[in-house]
């Protein structure tokens, strides 16, 4: 019996030693790059960056929350229990753990949702911020310039990148090829992109604007066509209505507005009066999300349309 007791005691001591001394060696007690946590109703929205595409996993309170595909910008929502003090972040390559972080969440400050708003027109940017009311949704706006597109890591510090409406020639020529390539890769690797009318041209494969053709074969996310402005197309009048499949409609001005063609696995959010002219679309691409509006988001007075816009932006970033 004494031998059995000694064996049990030895096993117990070795187990304690393993968890106290050995396990910490495999955990990094720092935080991963671009790490941030946002406290939300019912849980925590956790984001971080990895230098290569990996599958992220969070261990919290004895449960695992794992991503579906390898990405560089990781976004995981986990239910939060007040008794929990630590989370363990794991990065995996083909189910093999390659890195882990043990983080005391009590010491982490709450971070807002960070939106990178491409800065090529102060007036337009102010309109976008005002209409989308990012601040009321716990969003923080940071204006970004072409230098922010110089690396994937810089872009991954943002939960979404927004290209507002504006002059299409300025937009199409505002980024270099490497910068546009980084934008596309950012989205595919877990990022989110919001394009508003002409702002959607930067990631559209084909653009027809004032009867002039543009083509982005190498740097596109949306495989269809962006066509506009609507006030230069005969079938449209100076104003038209936005319709949602649930039935409500709202009249908008068509200056600099555009529509999309059906292409690929996209979801149509709203159309113009002609149901074959999508006014807003969204889709997933690899690990990221894309939301495109063909109409400007300022001066919209219809409450239901404003609510629709807000709900789709929430889908985009969360």
Q: Which of 72-76, 218-222, 249-253, 299-303 has the lowest mean pLDDT?
A: 249-253
pLDDT of 303 > 90? The answer is no
271-299 residue pLDDT tens = 888 888 899 999 999 999 999 999 888 76
- Examine the domain organization and report whether 96 and 142 are in the same domain: no
Say how far apart CA 78 and CA 56 lie, in whole Å: 13
Whether 145 maps to a domain, the answer reads yes
Its pTM stands at 0.86
- Examine the domain organization and report whether 260 and 313 are in the same domain: yes
Q: What is the CATH number of the domain that holds 84?
A: 2.60.40.10
Provide CB contacts within 8 A for 238, sequence distance 6+: 231, 253, 254
Phi then psi for residue 207, to 5 deg, are -130, 130
Average pLDDT along the chain: 83
- Examine the domain organization and report whether 40 and 154 are in the same domain: no
- Examine the domain organization and report whether 174 and 93 are in the same domain: no
pLDDT of 316 > 60? The answer is yes
pLDDT of 260 > 50? The answer is yes
Whether 101 maps to a domain, the answer reads yes
pLDDT of 25 > 80? The answer is no
pLDDT for residue 141: 85
Tally of domains within the chain: 2
- Examine the domain organization and report whether 239 and 172 are in the same domain: yes
- Examine the domain organization and report whether 294 and 161 are in the same domain: yes
Whether 302 maps to a domain, the answer reads yes
Q: What is the average per-residue pLDDT within 238-256?
A: 66
134-186 residue pLDDT tens = 545 578 888 898 889 999 999 999 999 999 888 888 888 888 999 999 999 99
What residue numbers bound the domain in which 57 lies?
Answer: 31-107
- Examine the domain organization and report whether 232 and 174 are in the same domain: yes
61-117 residue pLDDT tens = 889 999 999 999 999 999 977 778 889 999 999 889 999 999 998 888 999 999 999
pLDDT for residue 53: 98
Higher pLDDT among residues 67 and 16, named by residue: 67
pLDDT band at 32 (very low <50, low <70, confident <90, very high): very high
Identify the domain boundary among 107, 131, 159: 107
- Examine the domain organization and report whether 166 and 63 are in the same domain: no
* 121 burial via Cβ count (<10 Å: 0-12, 13-18, 19+): middle
Higher pLDDT among residues 111 and 216, named by residue: 111
Identify the domain boundary among 107, 136, 165: 107
- Examine the domain organization and report whether 103 and 120 are in the same domain: no
- Examine the domain organization and report whether 256 and 273 are in the same domain: yes
pLDDT of 269 > 50? The answer is yes
Identify the domain boundary among 107, 139, 159: 107
Whether 22 maps to a domain, the answer reads no
- Examine the domain organization and report whether 253 and 285 are in the same domain: yes
Q: What is the CATH number of the domain that holds 238?
A: 3.40.50.880
- Examine the domain organization and report whether 190 and 306 are in the same domain: yes
Percent of the chain with pLDDT over 90: 44
């Amino acid at each position: 019996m004494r031998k059995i007791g000694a064996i049990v005691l030895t096993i117990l001591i070795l187990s304690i030693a393993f968890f106290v001394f050995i396990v910490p060696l495999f955990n990094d007690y720092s935080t991963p790059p671009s790490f941030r946590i946002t406290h939300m109703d019912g849980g925590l929205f956790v984001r971080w960056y990895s230098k290569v595409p990996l599958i992220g996993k969070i261990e919290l309170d004895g449960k695992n929350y794992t991503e579906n595909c390898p990405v560089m910008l990781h976004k995981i929502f986990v239910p939060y229990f007040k008794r929990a003090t630590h989370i363990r972040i794991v990065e995996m390559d083909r189910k093999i753990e390659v890195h882990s972080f043990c983080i005391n969440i009590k010491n982490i400050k709450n971070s807002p949702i960070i939106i990178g708003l491409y800065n090529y027109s102060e007036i337009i940017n102010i309109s976008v911020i005002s209409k989308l009311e990012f601040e009321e949704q716990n969003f923080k706006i940071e204006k970004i310039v072409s230098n922010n597109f110089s690396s994937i890591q810089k872009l991954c510090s943002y939960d979404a990148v927004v290209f507002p409406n504006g002059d299409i020639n300025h937009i199409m020529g505002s980024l270099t090829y490497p910068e546009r390539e980084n934008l596309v890769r950012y989205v595919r690797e877990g990022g989110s992109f919001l394009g508003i009318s002409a702002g959607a041209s930067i990631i559209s494969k084909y653009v027809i604007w004032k009867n002039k053709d543009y083509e982005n074969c190498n740097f596109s996310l949306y495989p269809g066509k962006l066509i506009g402005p609507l006030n230069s197309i005969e079938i449209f009048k100076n104003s038209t209505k936005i319709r949602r499949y649930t039935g409500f409609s709202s009249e908008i001005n068509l200056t600099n507005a555009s529509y999309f063609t059906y292409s690929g696995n996209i979801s149509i959010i709203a159309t113009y009066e002609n149901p074959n002219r999508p006014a807003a679309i969204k889709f997933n691409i690899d690990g990221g999300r894309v939301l495109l509006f063909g109409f400007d988001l300022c001066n919209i007075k219809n409450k239901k349309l404003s609510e629709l816009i807000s709900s789709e932006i929430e889908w985009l970033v969360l």
